[in-house]
Amino acid sequence: KELDIANPARTRAIMNTYGLQVKKSLGQNFLTDQNVLHNIVFTADISQDDNVIEIGPGIGALTEYLARAAHQVLAFEIDDRLLPILDETLADYDNVEIINQDILKTDLTAMVAEHLDNERPLKLVANLPYYITTPILMNLLAGDVAFENIVVMMQKEVADRLSAEPGTKAYGALTIAVQYRMAAELAMVVPRSVFVPAPNVDSAIVKLTALPPRTHVPFDEAAFFKVVKAGFAHRRKNLWNNLQSLFGKQAETKNAIQTALDTAGIDPKIRAERLTVDEFITLTDALHQADL
């Protein structure tokens, strides 16, 4: 039997056979380490009962592991040069479907309805193309496809931001955007040496798990994200100054901001990085009540 795709020698052989030059612009760094792949499948807790969506199958290293573990795999790959390769490398698996499409232009709701059996738990697993990590995550979080969990590899620095705790340097608007909807944990740090070609940064696997529906929600989500973004607009300024930049410096506005902070029980002098998701929700509602 042939070796797993995730093996440096086989990966190079496949690339040579097809004359494939990786495109850096598409974030093509192929995984060649079976321990890392085991770890991804283990972290995502994939069983034969599950359907899995993969973003960017590449030459199929992760796809193969997903195909072995899951019921069905639906993978989106933008680069059509990889299609004949995937046809060959995944020939043994009849539960994988590759869609040649840009994930950022994909209507996932429609795709899931069309290609997958809706009764099954749905998970998303990917070794992400790093140049679009944030837009992909934002789309997944804002979309209405309900994933039981999302297990994704990304650059370590971004992984640190997603899983950050309040009061740390990595904690910011991205942390809150993610943790508003999912619980985030850093599952594994992955050295650059396990990829072909090796990227310029180390990587990490993050697990996002669906939270039970929030009981404490802001009066308006758009307003909440606006306050969060403004709170972190100038990281060295305190909350009071950042809120003034958002709402204005007129005396009346200052009074309203002060009232809102009092109502929310938040010290104006602290920095946004100290506020939890719940405190940002309380603050958003208090600002609204103060007519801001």
For residues 283 and 259, is the Cβ–Cβ distance under 8 A? no
Q: What residues between 109 and 138 interact with ligand SAM by CB under 6 A?
A: 127, 129, 132
Question: Mask of contacts with ligand SAM, 38-77, x by CB under 6 A?
Answer: -----------------xxxx--xx-------------xx
We find the least distance from the C-beta atom of residue 240 to ligand SAM, in angstroms, to be 40
Return d(Cα 241, Cα 193) in angstroms, integer. Answer: 44
Burial class (CB in 10 A: 0-12, 13-18, 19+), 274: middle
**Among residues 50, 64, 79, 285, the one that binds ligand SAM under rule CB under 6 A:** 79
**Among residues 78, 190, 239, 275, the one that binds ligand SAM under rule CB under 6 A:** 78
For residue 158, give both structure tokens: 């971004």
We find the least distance from the C-beta atom of residue 85 to ligand SAM, in angstroms, to be 10
| 21 DSSP assignment | P
We find the least distance from the C-beta atom of residue 189 to ligand SAM, in angstroms, to be 16
Q: Which is nearer to ligand SAM, 191 or 248 (CB)?
A: 191
Calculate the alpha carbon distances from 291 to 50, 80, 232, 283 in Å: 47, 53, 22, 13
Q: Which residues pair with 76 in a beta bridge?
A: 55, 99
Q: What residues between 15 and 34 interact with ligand SAM by CB under 6 A?
A: 26-31
Return d(Cα 138, Cα 174) in angstroms, integer. Answer: 9
For residues 284 and 219, is the Cβ–Cβ distance under 8 A? yes
Q: Which is nearer to ligand SAM, 62 or 164 (CB)?
A: 62
189 touches ligand SAM (CB under 6 A): no
Residues that bind ligand SAM (CB under 6 A): 26-31, 55-58, 61-62, 76-79, 102-104, 127, 129, 132
